[in-house]
Amino acid sequence: MDFSALTKKNIRSLRPYKAEEIPCTAKLDANESPYCIGSKLAADTLKKLNRYPDPDAKLLKAAIAKDLKVAKENIILGNGSDELIYYLIVTFGGPVLFPVPTFSMYGIISQALDEKFVGIPLDKDFDLDTDKMLAAVKKYRPRLIFLSSPNNPTGNCFSADRILKIIGASKGIVVVDEAYQPFSSEKGFLPLLGDYANLTIMRTLSKIGFAALRTGFMVADSGLIEEVNKVRLPFNLNSLSQTIALEAFKQKQAVGRAVRSIVSERDRMIDAMTEMNGVIPYPSEANFILFRVKNADLIYKKLLRSGVLVRNLSGTVKNALRVTVGTPDENNMFIKSLERASRRN
Ligand code: PMP
């Protein structure tokens, strides 16, 4: 039976998000942390596996509220921030606007939900093109604008004044996706939350050592949270994730240490890559580095042959690869392999 004939038209041409499992020694392709921190799994949770989780994740929400100094009414939790992107688009619909290149799920989810979406190219420095973005805000009147800052896959933060201009011009909701904020030297937009009712901040535990938990959260005006809560599936955050995520907030020092090590390794990797012939690393405020080479497909294969898995982004940015910062050993392996691969190129 040809099920695709039954599939809705907008979904037929959609390609699923690719998260392949490719065997390798150094897994540096998915922007995860190489450090596993929270593992003191609370035995009490295992004793209650027959019960549904707390539908409101009260303890975890209270920990986030305390950590970020916001009220719990301003928080909604998701099974990864992916789920929150989904909920936002289900709740408010399109048009959805975002710069490109950026995180692919904004477009994939919009298409899956049959909502119009518009991608506006970033400028040559991968910053927001203010004129084009403002023109698009005027033309399309987007209900949702997604700004990933630091941006995946380019690694840079967008200029704060450009983000503010877009927030000011938009009658719709502006989501600043701060998945990589912990690695950035910039403060982020949380302190400005009270100043703009249409500003929403999204964060995740995935990049700081807890990708397996699938736990993300959004901070916004309580009215906005109330609307999104209408479409949230009951019990969307399972008990084990709630319990271990709570550990993440208790172990802030260990998380902070891991983040600092990733940041200093990132800078060391950029320095080493800058010295290599035919390799151009872009500045990064995240836990990954976008870099250009002469022949991305070839270098990707050569790196993989030496056991290092990176992300090939040549379909998005010409001849670009993205490497996630790993442990010092993994990073040394990457540096050596890239040096060898680019020398012979
Ligand atoms: N936003 C951005 C910018 C991302 O890069 C990612 C992960 N690749 C996510 C959101 C989703 O993160 P998660 O669903 O794991 O919380």
In a domain, 37, yes or no: no
Is residue 48 very low, low, confident or very high in pLDDT (cuts 50, 70, 90)?
confident
Find the mean pLDDT for residues 280-290.
98
The residue among 240 and 49 whose pLDDT is bigger is 240
Which atom of ligand 1 lies closest to the CA of 78?
A: 16
The residue whose CA has the least distance to atom 6 of ligand 1 is 179
Query: Quick one: how far is CA 159 from the chain centroid?
Result: 18
Strand 308-309 relative to strand 26-27: parallel, antiparallel, unpaired?
parallel
179 Cβ below 6 A of ligand 1: yes
**In the structure encoding, which two tokens stand for residue 256, read together?**
């902070």
200 Cβ below 6 A of ligand 1: no
Do residues 209 and 305 share a domain? no
Query: How do residues 25-35 score in pLDDT, each as one tens digit?
Result: 999 999 999 98
Ligand 1 mutation target, pool 103, 200, 217, 284, most atoms within 8 A of CB = 103
Listed residue (180, 175, 146) closest to 31, CA to CA: 180
Question: Percent of the chain beyond pLDDT 70?
Answer: 98
Do residues 96 and 198 share a domain? yes
Output the pLDDT for position 105.
96
Instruction: Give distance in angstroms: CA of 81 to centre of ligand 1.
Output: 6
Query: How do residues 297-337 score in pLDDT, each as one tens digit?
Result: 999 999 999 999 999 999 999 999 999 999 999 999 999 99
Rounded distance between C-alpha atoms, residue 119 and residue 1, angstroms: 36
* 42 pLDDT more than 70: no
81 Cβ below 6 A of ligand 1: yes
Rounded distance between C-alpha atoms, residue 19 and residue 309, angstroms: 13
Output the furthest CA–CA distance in the chain (Å, rounded).
59
- The domain in which residue 234 lies consists of 43-250
Looking from the CA of 237 toward its CB, the CA atoms found within 13 Å total 27
Do residues 92 and 228 share a domain? yes
Ligand 1 mutation target, pool 77, 149, 152, 203, most atoms within 8 A of CB = 152
Rounded distance between C-alpha atoms, residue 142 and residue 125, angstroms: 24
Instruction: Give distance in angstroms: CA of 5 to centre of ligand 1.
Output: 31
Output the pLDDT for position 1.
85
**In the structure encoding, which two tokens stand for residue 310, read together?**
């990176």
Find the mean pLDDT for residues 166-174.
97
209 Cβ below 6 A of ligand 1: no
Q: 115 and 93 in contact (C-beta within 8 Å)?
A: yes
In a domain, 11, yes or no: yes
pTM: 0.94
Do residues 59 and 125 share a domain? yes
Q: For the chain, what is the radius of gyration of the CA atoms?
A: 20
Give the CATH number of the domain where residue 287 resides.
3.90.1150.10
In a domain, 82, yes or no: yes
Do residues 207 and 164 share a domain? yes
In a domain, 147, yes or no: yes
Give the CATH number of the domain where residue 179 resides.
3.40.640.10
287 Cβ below 6 A of ligand 1: no
Do residues 209 and 302 share a domain? no
Query: How do residues 136-162 score in pLDDT, each as one tens digit?
Result: 999 999 999 999 999 999 999 999 999
Output the pLDDT for position 344.
60
In a domain, 38, yes or no: no
Rounded distance between C-alpha atoms, residue 75 and residue 227, angstroms: 12
Looking from the CA of 78 toward its CB, the CA atoms found within 13 Å total 21
Rounded distance between C-alpha atoms, residue 263 and residue 254, angstroms: 14
Which atom of ligand 1 lies closest to the CA of 84?
A: 14
Instruction: Give distance in angstroms: CA of 98 to centre of ligand 1.
Output: 15
Output the pLDDT for position 221.
96
In a domain, 35, yes or no: no
Ligand 1 mutation target, pool 64, 177, 290, most atoms within 8 A of CB = 177
Element (H, E) at 199: strand 199-204
151 Cβ below 6 A of ligand 1: no
Which atom of ligand 1 lies closest to the CA of 180?
A: 3
Query: How do residues 236-263 score in pLDDT, each as one tens digit?
Result: 999 999 999 998 888 899 999 999 999 9
> How many domains does the chain divide into?
2
Summary mean pLDDT of the chain: 94
82 Cβ below 6 A of ligand 1: yes
* 41 pLDDT more than 80: no
Do residues 309 and 243 share a domain? no
Do residues 59 and 150 share a domain? yes
Burial of 249 (0-12, 13-18, 19+ CB in 10 A): middle
Ligand 1 mutation target, pool 108, 206, 215, most atoms within 8 A of CB = 206
Query: How do residues 54-64 score in pLDDT, each as one tens digit?
Result: 999 999 999 99
Is residue 49 very low, low, confident or very high in pLDDT (cuts 50, 70, 90)?
confident
The residue among 36 and 52 whose pLDDT is bigger is 52
In a domain, 297, yes or no: yes
Find the mean pLDDT for residues 79-106.
97
In sign, the C-alpha dihedral spanning 285, 287, 291, 296 is negative
Which atom of ligand 1 lies closest to the CA of 79?
A: 14
Output the pLDDT for position 312.
96
SS3 for 106? helix
Say which DSSP state 230 is in: T
In sign, the C-alpha dihedral spanning 271, 275, 277, 282 is positive
Domain-terminating residue out of 201, 218, 250 = 250
* 345 pLDDT more than 60: no
**In the structure encoding, which two tokens stand for residue 253, read together?**
């020092």
Do residues 257 and 246 share a domain? no
